[in-house]
């Protein structure tokens, strides 16, 4: 790995699932020569996670966020594309590489109530990854980690069991368990969404502090834009398997370009009775991920629908400063770029409209 | 407070357990909902807000009981109603409920139209055709396609099921709807649409609403008045504007600042340490005292009485130091004087 490699890089990663389950359907497909129907849960997705960066992924349920996370973890084999960790492709990993990868990439799950073993004490929960990876440790290492995630006094928490902890404390234990192996990347799957508001704030603050203190990078997945903005440097907006817009957090919130991003932001309730919010105008729900429309997948709900939306939009950089990409036909001149191969931003792989 | 539709006065609700260590779920709760008002009840999980909803329609678990205080609906005391009195006088006709998990509240093996017919059979003298026609009208009100009234619930998505539930809640033209976390299971865009429908009902249907949620922003945006609960006690009640502008209970103050506001991503979120007590004993203290940065020894010596907030109508805080809060919590009360919303200019 060279020093300039990003920690984690996804290059046009696909994850498709086959829907066929019954024998009859399989025979029909064979006879009529149709391919099996695919759920394109993650489709041609690019993402680069730099050292010490927090990338947020937001989208509605069913947009493929969790599939993305599982694919990155190696729980699913990608159907296409390449996942590179510290410059090396995971498809070339052997068994010991995978073990090393699992030490360096840790996950914090959504539900702290079910992700801790009820029969493991806090000490054993946090020691387990160290034992699996043959790392020497002392009790004081565990206590130190507990103090860092805000479980003080550590000597009291270390012998407790999950049923003696509140939801927020459980999530802190889960975070300590993820950090104890000194990882490079943390994958966080809505870590605060099951918690009460008062605890949610402290977990968000904790994640913020820890990424700075430990120098880890993080992919933070959520459906809630208002919490994502507290943690993430960059936000990726995902819609039905594709990233439709990506920009630095403030830029995305203050000046969204994609109609879907605009709708998401307009739908967030504002905790202020004096604020008159304009409600989003889009209707309906995401379509069926099996029979997805050709071209732009958002077109069925889009208030700005045009004829050209039947073609797949390219990623463009409307500001021309390389800090944003948006996949929407509104933001490029189709005639001027017809036949052109390179992206204006120069940095992304071209996608010729199909 | 001229014409309340629902009044809670010093209500205690207790769950009995076999071993005798009862749970004191709600203690000395008082608030009232005016006619045509949307009333928000916020608090964290376990604070007793759903217990209150259950008590209103007589739906407490068999070991739960209103042990003292009065619940008045349209002036009549209902806390001691029997099951049949609730069925005849209150449930659905007067007060209907939009439950939290719509997915589990519709009969999965019955067409929606048949569920409406069933409801009409027990509560009205409508014929079958009339019953279906009424559902058809309501489907239009909540934005569902009329052609789908003969569908089964599983053919609907989560948002559509939630709308169907709202249609059923309106079916017998109640005066009060209790919405228990009506949008928690939904995505933001769908949540916004459902709340928009719920809001629309207010004028067209002449309805009052008790909206129970943990999401204070939903209450601030959509309700007229509200109560904040903590650990089985009502902490503060008043109009949403008063509670927002002049919160006087420490929990209400901190809760507001703990809530993420997408307009100000740089704001430090307030953290409320600790957790509420277990409520296994008689509650003769302020349940927030252990988490409160301004707690005094007296806070643990007796349950606080309501203090009227000077200058506001019907704005009360159950805190012995409510008068001093403006000074004590000054740093929390004016955090964003020079902050600018990053959403400005895009709308």
Contacts of A196 (CB under 8 A, 6+ apart): A167, A168, B44, B45, B214
* pLDDT band with cut points at 50, 70 and 90 for residue B244: very high
Closest partner residue to A201 (CB to CB) among B193, B271, B345 is: B271
- Distance (Å, whole) CA B249 – CA B329: 10
Instruction: Tell me if A198 and B44 make a contact (CB, 8 A cut-off).
Output: yes
pLDDT given at position B1: 47
**Cα-to-chain-centroid distance, residue A265:** 18
Mean pLDDT of B197-206: 83
CB contact under 8 A, A225 and B188: yes
Q: What is the dihedral of CA B247, B226, A264, A49, to 10 degrees?
A: 50
Averaged pLDDT, B19-34: 91
Interfacial A residues in 34-53 facing B (CB < 8 Å) = none
Q: Which of A171-185, B47-61, B333-347 is the least confident region?
A: B333-347
- Cα angle A343, A11, A72 (rounded to 5 degrees) comes to 150
- Tell me if residue B59 falls in helix, strand or coil: coil
Indicate the DSSP class of residue B86: I
pTM: 0.85
Give residues 190 to 219 of A whose Cβ lies within 8 Å of B. Answer: 196-202, 204-205
Question: How far are the Cα atoms of A283, A289, A348, B57, B238 from residue B42, in angstroms, in the given order?
Answer: 28, 36, 46, 19, 12
Chain B residue with minimal CA distance to A60?
B187
pLDDT digits (tens, 9 = 90+) for B302-313: 999 999 998 888
pLDDT tens sequence across B57-115? 998 988 999 999 999 999 999 999 999 999 888 888 899 998 877 678 889 999 999 99
Of A343-347, B60-64, B140-144, B274-278, the poorest mean pLDDT is in: A343-347
B157 touches chain A (CB under 8 A): yes
What is the full DSSP assignment across A191-228? TTTTS-HHHHHHHHHHHHHHHHHH--EEEEEES-HHHH
**A264 touching chain B per CB within 8 A:** yes
B264 touches chain A (CB under 8 A): no
Q: What angle do CA B289, B249, A194 make, to 5 degrees?
A: 75
Phi, psi of A266 (to 5 degrees): -70, -20
Chain B residues near residue A226 by CB distance under 8 angstroms: 260-262
Chain A residues with CB-CB distance to B214 below 8 A: 196-197
**Which residues from B are below 8 Å from A277, CB to CB?**
221
B240 confidence band (pLDDT: 50, 70, 90): very high
Every domain of chain A and the residues it spans: 50-81+88-239, 243-270+279-333
Q: What is d(CA B199, CA B190) in angstroms, rounded to the nearest whole number?
A: 14
Burial environment of residue A79 by CB neighbours within 10 A (0 to 12, 13 to 18, 19 or more): middle
Those residues of chain A that have pLDDT short of 50 are: 340-354
Q: What is the pLDDT of residue B2?
A: 63
pLDDT tens digits along B281-301: 889 999 999 999 999 999 999
C-alpha span between B345 and B164 (Å, rounded): 37
- pLDDT grade for B130, boundaries at 50, 70 and 90: very high
Task: Could you please state the CATH topology (level 3) that the domain comprising A50-81+88-239 is classified under.
Answer: Rossmann fold (3.40.50)
Chain A residue with the nearest C-alpha to that of B272: A198
Cross-strand partners of A327: A315
Cβ A239 vs Cβ B331: under 8 Å: no
Closest CA relative to residue B190, chosen from B160, B167, B155 = B160
Higher pLDDT, B274 or B54: B54
> Which among B187, B258, B343 has CB closest to A197?
B258
For residue A193, the number of C-alpha atoms closer than 13 Å in the C-beta half-sphere is: 20
Distances (CA, A) of A249 to A85, A144, A232, A308, B47: 24, 32, 7, 29, 34
Q: pLDDT value at position A346? A: 37
């Amino acid at each position: 790995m060279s020093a300039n490699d990003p920690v984690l890089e996804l290059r046009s990663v696909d994850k498709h699932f086959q829907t066929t389950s019954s024998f009859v359907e399989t025979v029909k497909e064979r006879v009529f020569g149709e391919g099996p129907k695919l759920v394109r849960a993650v489709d041609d997705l690019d993402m680069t996670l730099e050292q010490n960066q927090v990338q947020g992924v937001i989208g509605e349920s069913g947009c493929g966020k969790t599939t993305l996370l599982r694919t990155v973890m190696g729980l699913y084999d990608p159907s296409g594309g390449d996942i590179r960790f510290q410059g090396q492709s995971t498809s070339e990993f052997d068994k010991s590489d995978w073990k090393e990868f699992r030490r360096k990439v840790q996950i914090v799950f959504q539900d702290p109530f079910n992700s801790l073993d009820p029969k493991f004490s806090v000490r054993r929960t946090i020691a387990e990854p160290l034992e699996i990876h043959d790392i020497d440790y002392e009790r004081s290492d565990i206590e130190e980690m507990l103090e860092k995630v805000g479980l003080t006094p550590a000597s009291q928490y270390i012998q407790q069991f999950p049923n003696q902890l509140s939801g927020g404390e459980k999530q802190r234990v889960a975070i300590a368990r993820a950090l104890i192996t000194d990882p490079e990347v943390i994958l966080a799957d809505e870590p605060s969404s099951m918690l009460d508001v008062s605890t949610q704030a402290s977990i968000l603050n904790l994640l913020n502090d820890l990424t700075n203190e430990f120098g880890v990078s993080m992919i933070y997945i959520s459906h809630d834009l208002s919490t994502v903005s507290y943690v993430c440097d960059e936000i990726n907006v995902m819609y039905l398997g594709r990233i439709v817009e990506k920009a630095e957090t403030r830029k995305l919130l203050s000046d969204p370009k994609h109609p879907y991003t605009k709708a998401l932001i307009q739908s967030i309730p504002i905790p202020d009775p004096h604020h008159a919010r304009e409600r989003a105008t889009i209707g309906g729900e995401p379509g069926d991920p099996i029979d997805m429309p050709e071209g732009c997948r958002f077109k069925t709900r889009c208030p700005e629908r045009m004829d050209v939306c039947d073609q797949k939009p390219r990623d463009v950089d409307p500001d021309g400063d390389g800090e944003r990409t948006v996949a929407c036909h509104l933001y490029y001149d189709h005639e001027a770029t017809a036949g052109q191969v390179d992206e204006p931003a120069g940095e992304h792989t071209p996608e010729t409209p199909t | 407070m001229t014409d309340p539709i629902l009044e809670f006065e010093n209500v205690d609700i207790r769950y009995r357990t076999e071993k005798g260590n009862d749970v004191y779920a709600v203690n000395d709760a008082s608030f009232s909902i005016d006619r045509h008002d949307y009333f928000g009840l916020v608090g964290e999980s376990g604070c007793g807000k759903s217990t209150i909803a259950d008590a209103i329609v007589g739906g407490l678990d068999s070991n739960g009981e209103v042990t003292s205080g009065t619940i008045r609906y349209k002036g009549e005391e209902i806390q001691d109603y029997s099951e049949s009195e609730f069925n005849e006088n209150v449930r659905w006709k007067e007060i209907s409920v939009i439950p939290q998990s719509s997915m589990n509240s519709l009969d999965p093996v019955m067409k929606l139209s048949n569920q409406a017919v069933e409801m009409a059979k027990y509560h009205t003298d409508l014929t079958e055709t009339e019953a279906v026609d009424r559902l058809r009208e309501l489907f239009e009100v909540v934005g569902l396609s009329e052609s789908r009234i003969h569908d089964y619930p599983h053919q609907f998505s989560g948002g559509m099921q939630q709308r169907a539930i709202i249609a059923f809640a309106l079916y017998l033209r109640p005066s009060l709807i209790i919405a228990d976390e009506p949008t928690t299971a939904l995505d933001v865009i769908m949540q916004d649409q459902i709340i928009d429908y719920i809001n629309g009902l207010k004028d067209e249907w002449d309805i009052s609403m008790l909206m129970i949620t943990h999401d204070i922003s939903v209450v601030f945006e959509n309700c007229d008045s509200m109560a904040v609960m903590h650990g089985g006690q009502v902490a503060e009640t008043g109009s949403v504007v008063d509670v927002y502008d002049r919160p006087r209970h420490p929990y209400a103050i901190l809760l507001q600042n703990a809530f993420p506001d997408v307009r100000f991503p740089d704001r430090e979120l307030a953290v409320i340490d600790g957790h509420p007590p277990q409520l296994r004993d008689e509650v003769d203290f302020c349940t927030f005292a252990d988490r409160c940065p301004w707690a005094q020894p007296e806070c643990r010596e007796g349950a606080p009485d309501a203090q009227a907030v000077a200058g506001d109508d019907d704005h009360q805080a159950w805190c012995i130091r409510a008068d001093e809060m403006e000074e004590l919590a000054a740093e929390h009360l004016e955090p964003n004087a020079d902050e600018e919303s990053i959403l400005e200019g895009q709308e």
